[in-house]
Chains A and B, each alone.
Chain A
């Protein structure tokens, strides 16, 4: 991976997922209610599983964006070609799902109702962003190949049969 591309991905990760997962929930929700001092240890195991899974999914998606698509997750510097490898062969939005798993890990660990409402709002916002902005944009950029991909790979679900562009 080119160093400048890696730097841009790191910067994006620190700014955007960093804000969604850490800065906003911590400063706006967790810190004022002082719940950060009392993480629920009973839920630490499922929270840990969600954290590891979410992190692995996010890193794999970023890797595919960089190596296959030669771009970043940032809307101002997207992949140059349609990324339909790795997890994208089975679900259309694994990166969002990885971030939501990380949010779920936080909800489990801190058992904070405000955090759960925040996570559900973020999930709804992701859905709206995907349906109203990302999909129309990808459709106009990649045309038929994206339509074929959408027909075979679910937006949020998980296809049992992996998508293959050769079979398209």
Chain B
């Protein structure tokens, strides 16, 4: 899951960072993920992993890093 997310993020949303040196805990927002990028990322995750990510939970604690994003998707999938 994390690799798919990372591939999408660095192919479609963030261009100036080196994916190889970007860690799972590194901050996606500091790396340049903007509002439109967050919206596209959520739409991608919902379609790719077949989950519904609640709008009320769209916050830095759930989208700030690859690990946080993966945890949020897994939690939402179990709900």
Which A residues fall within an 8 A CB radius of B?
121, 124-125, 127-129, 131-133, 136
Contacts and interface: CB of A to CB of B under 8 A. Distances in A.
Nearest to B33: A132
Contacts of A128: 35, 38-39, 58
Contacts of A121: 39
Chain A interface secondary structure, helix, strand, loop or mixed? helix
A125 B55 contact: no
A4 B34 CA distance: 30
Interface of B: 29, 34-36, 38-39, 55, 58-60, 63
B43 to A, nearest CB: 10
A132 B29 contact: yes
Given A132-B35, A132-B59, 16 more contacts: A124-B55, A124-B58, A125-B35, A125-B39, A127-B55, A127-B58, A128-B35, A128-B38, A128-B39, A129-B35, A131-B58, A131-B59, A132-B38, A133-B34, A133-B35, A136-B60
Contacts of B29: 132
A131 B36 contact: no
Contacts of A124: 39, 55, 58
Contacts of A132: 29, 35, 38, 59-60, 63
A92 to B, nearest CB: 15
26 contacts: A121-B39, A124-B39, A124-B55, A124-B58, A125-B35, A125-B36, A125-B39, A127-B55, A127-B58, A128-B35, A128-B38, A128-B39, A128-B58, A129-B35, A131-B58, A131-B59, A131-B60, A132-B29, A132-B35, A132-B38, A132-B59, A132-B60, A132-B63, A133-B34, A133-B35, A136-B60
